[in-house]
C-alpha cells in the first residue's frame, strides 16, 4: 500500500497513538501543559499556557461543563471580541477529556442570538496547532498563518450577526481524525456555548445552531451530527453544511496515487516531496489508544525522538519541511506497523455511518467528482445510503473542482480573500515557502468562487429556514 509508506501519514498516526495511550503504556509523554510559573496569556502556545490546565476535580464534571473562561482579542477583524472556554468532554474511548472552544462575537448581533459552529481543518498532531491558539492576535502557533484562509462561513456568519463557535475538536491531546473524539468535542463545545451568556447574551439551550466545515472540518462536523441524537439530544441543531467530506478513512489510506493529481503546484514538485505534502497529516489518529503497545515494542530510539519533535508546534508545513525525504519505516523494527488487527479495527470504527446510524440533522453535502484528495465515490455512497435510510440530505455534485483548486485561486488574489470558500484546504500547508511558490507559479486552473458563496448562503439559509435539504442529488 503506497500511501502507508508516506512519512507524514504514518508519523502522525503513530504520534496520536502514543499520546492517546494510558500513561502507564506510553514511551513518550505529550507536550501538553507546563504550568510552572507561566501566566495565562492569550496567544501563547497551549503547551505552555496554564489556561489549558483544568482545575482539580474536573473529571467528575458533566460533559460540556465550563471549567474556565477568558476574553481574548480575535485576529478576525469582523469580530467585536472573542471568548474562550475550557470545557469538559469525552475522548473516543469514553474517558474524561478537556478542550477549548473560541466564540467570536459579531459586531451587530441578532436578537435572540443564533450560533454557527465552524470546524476548521486543523489536521495536526501537535496541541499547539489548536484553533484556539491561532485565532487570537499575536499568536505563536504555526497554524495562525492558515486561519485567515480557512474561515469557511466565518466572516459571512459574523456579518449576518451570528455568534461563531470554533472548537478545538481534536481534544487536549491532538487526536487527529478520531471520529468519536471530534464529535464529542464539537457537541460539548456547543453545550458550553449555550450556557455562557457572558459571551452570548440571551443564549439558552434552545438557541438555534448550524454547523459547517470542509475536508478535515467536515469530518469533525459530520461526526458531531452522527453522534448528536444520543450524545447531545437537547442541542437545537438546525442543520449542517459539509464539503469534501472524508467518509471512509481506509479508502484514503490505501489509495496513494490519486492524490492531488490535478493540483498544479504539487505536479511541479519532486515526487518524494509531493508524496509528503498530499497526505497533509490526514487521519493521524484512527488508532486511538489501541495500537500503542505494538508501536512501543517495535520502534527504534530515533523514532521516539521524532515523535516528540512533531508534537512541538509542528503543523503540517513544519513536518514536511523538516522531514522531507525521510523514510518513516526506518524508525520501526517491523516492515508494516499498521498491518495489525488492532489498527484495522480502529480504521473500521472511523468510517462515517458504519454503525448503521441515520442522520437526524438536515444536511447539505457537496463533493467534486474530480476531488483528487478525498474519494468522491465514498461521499456519494454515504449520501445514497443515508437518503435510503430516511435522512434529510441534499447531495450537491461539483463537476470541475479539485480538492484544493479554489484554495489556490484564493492565495493569488491581491485583495483580502472572501474567507468563505470551503475548498481552501491548500493552506493547511501554511508555510511561507509554499505561499511564495503559489504566488510565483503561473496558475494552471482558474476555478470560480461559486461554491464559496454557496457554502455561506447555505449556512445562512438554515438559520433563515429556507435551506433545501430534501433527499436528492444535484449537479453544478
Cell of 451: 461554491
Structural domain containing residue 96: 50-250+353-475
Residue 34 counted as domain residue: no
Range scoring the smallest mean pLDDT among 14-18, 153-157, 331-335, 422-426 = 422-426
Residue 200 counted as domain residue: yes
Q: Do 286 and 399 touch, CB atoms closer than 8 A?
A: no
pLDDT band per the 50, 70, 90 thresholds, residue 296: low
Q: Edge-to-edge, what's the strand order for the sheet holding 66-72?
A: 66-72, 79-90, 96-106, 163-167, 115-119, 209-214, 237-243, 362-368, 393-398, 472-475
Residue 341 counted as domain residue: no
| Structure confidence by residue, pLDDT tens digits, 405-437 | 533 332 232 222 322 333 333 333 433 444 444
Q: What are the CA-CA distances from residue 46 to residues 118, 126, 227 (Å)?
A: 20, 10, 27
| Structure confidence by residue, pLDDT tens digits, 379-409 | 999 999 999 999 999 998 887 777 765 333 3
Between 358 and 275, residue with greater pLDDT: 358
Cell of 202: 440571551
Residue 198 counted as domain residue: yes
Q: What is the separation, in whole angstroms, between the first and last Cα of the chain?
A: 34
| Structure confidence by residue, pLDDT tens digits, 80-118 | 999 999 999 999 889 999 999 999 999 999 999 999 999
| Structure confidence by residue, pLDDT tens digits, 282-293 | 333 333 334 445
In this predicted structure, what is the pLDDT of residue 19? 40
Residue 261 counted as domain residue: no
The CATH number of the domain holding residue 163 is 3.40.50.1820
pLDDT band per the 50, 70, 90 thresholds, residue 348: confident
Residue 304 counted as domain residue: no
Between 439 and 294, residue with greater pLDDT: 294
Residue 333: is its pLDDT beyond 80? no
Helix axes 316-323, 301-310, angle to 10 degrees: 140
Instruction: Please give the sequence-ordered ranges of beta strands (E in DSSP) within 178-323, or none if there are none.
Output: 209-214, 237-243
Question: If you average pLDDT over every residue of the chain, what do you get?
Answer: 74
232-246 average pLDDT score: 93
Whole-number Å distance between alpha carbons of 149 and 143: 11
In this predicted structure, what is the pLDDT of residue 433? 44
Q: Do 133 and 194 touch, CB atoms closer than 8 A?
A: no
Closest CA to 275 of 307, 311, 319: 319
Q: Do 476 and 398 touch, CB atoms closer than 8 A?
A: yes
Q: How many domains does the chain have?
A: 1
pLDDT band per the 50, 70, 90 thresholds, residue 319: low
**CA 279 to chain CA mean position, Å:** 14
Residue 226: is its pLDDT beyond 60? yes
In this predicted structure, what is the pLDDT of residue 291? 45
Residue 442 counted as domain residue: yes
For the chain, what percent of residues have pLDDT higher than 70?
Answer: 61
List CB contacts of 474: < 8 A, sequence separation 6 or more: 394, 395, 396, 397
Residue 378 counted as domain residue: yes
| Structure confidence by residue, pLDDT tens digits, 133-160 | 999 999 988 888 877 777 778 888 999 9
Q: What are the CA-CA distances from residue 227 to residues 290, 379, 458 (Å)?
A: 21, 18, 22
Between 22 and 185, residue with greater pLDDT: 185
Amino acid at each position: 500500500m503506497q500511501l502507508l509508506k508516506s512519512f507524514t501519514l504514518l508519523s502522525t498516526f503513530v504520534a496520536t497513538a502514543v499520546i492517546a495511550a494510558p500513561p502507564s503504556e506510553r514511551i513518550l509523554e505529550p507536550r501538553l501543559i507546563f504550568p510552572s510559573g507561566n501566566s495565562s496569556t492569550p496567544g501563547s502556545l497551549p503547551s505552555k499556557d496554564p489556561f489549558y490546565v483544568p482545575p482539580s476535580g474536573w473529571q467528575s464534571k458533566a460533559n460540556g461543563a465550563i471549567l474556565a473562561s477568558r476574553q481574548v482579542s480575535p485576529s478576525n477583524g469582523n469580530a467585536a471580541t472573542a471568548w474562550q472556554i475550557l470545557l469538559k468532554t469525552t475522548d473516543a474511548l469514553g474517558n474524561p477529556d478537556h478542550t477549548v472552544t473560541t466564540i467570536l462575537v459579531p459586531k451587530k448581533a441578532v436578537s435572540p442570538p443564533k450560533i454557527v459552529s465552524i470546524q476548521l481543518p486543523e489536521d495536526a498532531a501537535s496541541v499547539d496547532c489548536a484553533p484556539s491558539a491561532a485565532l487570537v492576535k499575536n499568536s505563536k502557533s504555526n497554524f495562525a498563518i492558515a486561519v485567515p484562509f480557512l474561515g469557511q462561513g466565518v466572516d459571512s456568519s459574523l456579518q449576518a450577526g451570528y455568534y461563531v463557535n470554533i472548537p478545538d475538536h481534536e481534544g487536549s491531546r491532538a487526536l487527529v481524525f478520531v471520529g468519536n473524539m471530534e464529535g464529542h468535542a464539537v457537541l460539548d463545545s456547543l453545550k458550553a456555548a449555550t450556557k455562557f451568556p457572558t459571551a452570548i447574551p440571551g443564549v439558552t439551550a434552545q438557541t438555534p445552531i448550524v454547523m459547517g466545515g470542509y475536508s478535515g472540518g467536515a469530518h469533525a462536523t459530520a461526526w458531531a451530527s452522527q453522534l448528536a441524537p444520543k450524545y447531545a439530544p437537547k442541542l437545537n441543531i438546525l442543520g449542517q453544511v459539509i464539503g469534501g467530506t472524508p467518509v471512509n478513512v481506509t479508502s484514503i489510506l490505501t489509495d496513494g496515487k490519486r492524490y492531488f493529481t490535478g493540483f498544479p503546484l504539487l505536479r511541479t514538485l519532486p515526487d518524494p516531496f509531493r508524496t509528503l505534502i498530499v497526505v497533509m497529516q490526514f487521519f493521524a489518529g484512527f488508532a486511538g489508544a489501541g495500537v500503542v503497545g505494538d508501536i512501543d515494542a517495535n520502534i527504534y530510539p530515533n523514532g521516539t525522538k521524532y515523535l516528540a519533535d512533531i508534537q512541538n508546534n509542528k503543523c503540517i508545513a513544519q513536518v514536511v519541511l523538516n522531514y522531507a525525504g525521510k523514510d518513516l519505516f526506518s524508525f520501526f523494527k517491523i516492515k508494516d506497523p499498521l498491518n495489525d488487527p488492532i489498527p484495522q479495527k480502529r480504521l473500521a470504527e472511523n468510517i462515517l455511518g458504519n454503525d448503521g446510524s441515520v442522520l437526524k440533522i438536515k444536511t447539505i453535502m457537496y463533493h467534486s467528482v474530480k476531488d483528487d484528495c478525498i474519494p468522491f465515490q465514498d461521499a456519494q455512497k454515504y449520501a445514497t445510503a443515508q437518503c435510503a435510510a430516511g435522512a434529510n440530505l441534499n447531495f450537491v455534485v461539483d463537476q470541475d473542482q479539485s480538492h484544493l483548486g479554489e484554495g489556490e485561486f484564493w492565495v493569488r488574489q491581491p485583495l483580502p480573500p472572501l474567507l468563505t470558500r470551503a475548498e481552501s484546504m491548500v493552506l493547511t500547508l501554511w508555510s511561507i515557502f509554499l505561499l511564495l511558490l503559489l504566488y510565483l507559479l503561473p496558475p494552471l486552473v482558474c476555478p470560480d468562487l461559486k461554491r464559496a458563496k454557496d457554502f455561506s448562503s447555505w449556512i445562512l439559509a438554515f438559520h433563515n429556514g429556507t435551506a433545501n435539504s430534501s433527499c436528492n442529488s444535484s449537479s453544478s
